[in-house]
Structure 1
Amino acid sequence: MYETEKEVAAKAEKMLESALRQKTSGFQNHVNRDNNEVSLKDATAKASVKKYGLKRNNNQVFYMRSLAIKMARHGFVQHFGVDGIRDGGTRVRTKPNNITYGFKSHVMKMKAQPFINSAIENSGVVDFVMENVTKIRSEELLFEVKKILEN
């Protein structure tokens, strides 16, 4: 069905991105979030594909190396949770009036909500990539062995 790993990578990106968007669509928007700030609902998937060989020599091959999730940092914090001490510091508030205030360091505990793992499982991307990449690479290996035996 898929002839190159580049095609498999593109399909895997779409599958994982769709599952991530489905999982994050139910999340509430942050109350204080500006329109230009990144939302968890904008999570994407990016496949890394390495090119070997030259097109002019007719030996150009693409190999899928990885599939990564790209999202705002707070998405990973929400997924893994936090159990640590938050540093103290100062904040500046401008509404309703300007005021600067300090706060002490304090314990911060946030329960992990593993939505990324469930999105990966629901997408079926792991099985899809394993099946198709294995098929493509095994055909390539058989072709190389045949070529060696013929010489």
Structure 2
Amino acid sequence: MKLLNDIQHLTFITADMDRLIAFYERVFEARVTVDLEEDGLRHTFIEVGPHTVLHPFQVTGVEPPDPQPMFQRGRLDHFALNAASEEAFRELRRRVVTEGAGNGVVTDMGSLLSFGFADPDGGCHEVVWVKPGVPAGALLKRADWAMVEID
């Protein structure tokens, strides 16, 4: 029996909710499904996929941490968004680069391709495309990852 489908939401802090929403709308065609202000905070649901919601909070007096290197970012290091297709992966890469939110470097990890992006608060995340027909076990060790050129 399968017990879970996906992650329902990811929660994090933002310094500017409107700026964050605009970024995810522009780059990922996300949509806000909930936007609430209560008890000195604002929080939203930003739907980035059919089963994936970002749930940022803007809290008076609380700022997001300064950007840190990978594995030094705290309890949640980063999240990866799953591109719907190879074509979508390429389009999202183009949008991230146009937005100035990433350099567009693509890493081939064996069973998937990945590129990074930074949100307006400096949160560093990824977009991945899982190669069809390639088993997850084909994920290469980090030492075998390769930077690849794509159009």
- TM-score interval, smaller chain: under 0.3
**Which structure dedicates a bigger proportion of its chain to helix?**
1
The answer to which structure has the higher strand fraction is 2
Higher relative contact order (CA 8 A, sep 6+): 1
- TM-score, structure 2 length as denominator? 0.25
TM-score by length of 1: 0.25
